[in-house]
Amino acid sequence: MALLEGKTGLIFGVANHRSYAWHIAKALVAHGADCAFAAHPDEKLMQRAREAVDQLDLSRPWIEPCDAGRDEDLDAVFAAYARDHARLDFVVHSIAFADREWLSPGTFVGTPRQSYLQAIDISAYTLVAMADRSREQMAAGGGGSILAMTYYGSEKVVPGYNVMGVAKAALEASSRYLAADLGPDNIRVNTISGGPLRTLAASGIAGFRQILTHNAERAPLRRNVEGQDVGGVATFLVSDLSSGITGENIYVDCGVNTIGL
Ligand code: NAD
Ligand code: 0WE
């Protein structure tokens, strides 16, 4: 029997076939899971997300629009999911947003209140909002696994990551508090700290190529991370193999975070 046979869940953050969320979906599907999707309602983004989901060859692709910054959209997508699916075993949070203007080195000090709040809202609060809306259906099925993508810039200064680093620190702390609240319902909440990957979110970042080169040189594995590296760990965290792991962060960065000098 496949590792994730009988497990069904909802994935946020597929923009295209390069997205971390897409690689996670690919791996979960390969191990027998049923995946449903929520994507940003912007027409072009929604169309790209549809094309990416089509590449997964699902028998009945399920994809609904959701601006995670809107409570009404989150309510609607979880209601539609529950209407169409008997169980909710996992939720994957793979979304982040900050105003590009404040993602360049040396500009953190100038971050306006609105840009700071928006980064925390979309990149961190949405995990809490999703967990709250998952709880009932997950608990009814005996538990579940909630997973969010984070980055090392939450812990150490990565020039230019700026307000996103603050938002990821909030995301990681939120996952621990959620793990404590939801543990009694056997709902686990964990984060994966992924290495730099060339995605849509990374494409706008000046100097991303240098970050990739620098990482591959420093990494104990002497390479950059690939989508499937994260897909494998996501499979593990969704599966019952990780039944005793919650409130945890797992680095999938080819070991870069362990190097001091
Ligand atoms: P991506 O651009 O493929 O995915 C980001 C997703 O966030 C997109 O699908 C976008 O539509 C979605 N999003 C943004 N605002 C939204 C909103 N208001 N409502 C709904 N969806 C919204 O890029 P990615 O790199 O795959 O990013 C996924 C996650 O991985 C993010 O949390 C990111 O911080 C994290 N991450 C990325 C890297 C990297 O180097 N690419 C490294 C570590 C962690
Ligand atoms: O989490 C991220 C990127 C998240 C992100 C990217 C963008 C670009 C486009 C959030 N918001 C936006 N807003 C936009 O308008 N990563 C981990 C990738 C990343 O981003 C960096 C990095 C790395 C790595 C920014 C500076 C330095 C390193």
Query: Residue 209 has what pLDDT?
Result: 95
Domain assignment present for 261: no
Domain assignment present for 2: no
List the residue whose alpha carbon is closest to atom 18 of ligand 2: 202
Look at residues 150, 135, 152 and name the one whose alpha carbon lies nearest to residue 186.
135
Domain assignment present for 71: yes
What residues are in contact with ligand 2 under a 6 Å CB criterion? Answer: 96-98, 100, 103, 151, 158, 160-161, 164, 196, 201-202, 204-205, 211
Domain assignment present for 96: yes
pTM above 0.75, yes or no: yes
Q: Show the tokens assigned to 3.
A: 């590792």
Query: Residue 149 has what pLDDT?
Result: 99
> Does the active-site annotation cover 152?
no
Domain assignment present for 190: yes
Query: Residue 204 has what pLDDT?
Result: 83
Where does the chain have alpha helices with state H? Answer: 20-30, 43-54, 71-84, 113-120, 126-140, 162-182, 200-203, 208-218, 227-238
Look at residues 207, 173, 34 and name the one whose alpha carbon lies nearest to residue 105.
207
Ligand 2 centroid–CA 206 distance in Å is 10
Domain assignment present for 229: yes
CATH number at residue 213: 3.40.50.720
List the residue whose alpha carbon is closest to atom 16 of ligand 2: 202
Domain tally, the chain: 1
Ligand 2 centroid–CA 171 distance in Å is 15
Question: Which domain does 17 fall in, by range?
Answer: 8-253
Q: Average pLDDT across each block of 10 residues of the chain; the chain has 261 residues. List them in order.
A: 97 98 98 98 98 97 98 98 98 98 97 98 99 98 98 98 98 99 99 98 92 97 98 99 98 98 94
Cβ atoms of residues 256 and 215 within 8 Å: yes
Look at residues 78, 79, 208, 89 and name the one whose alpha carbon lies nearest to residue 147.
89
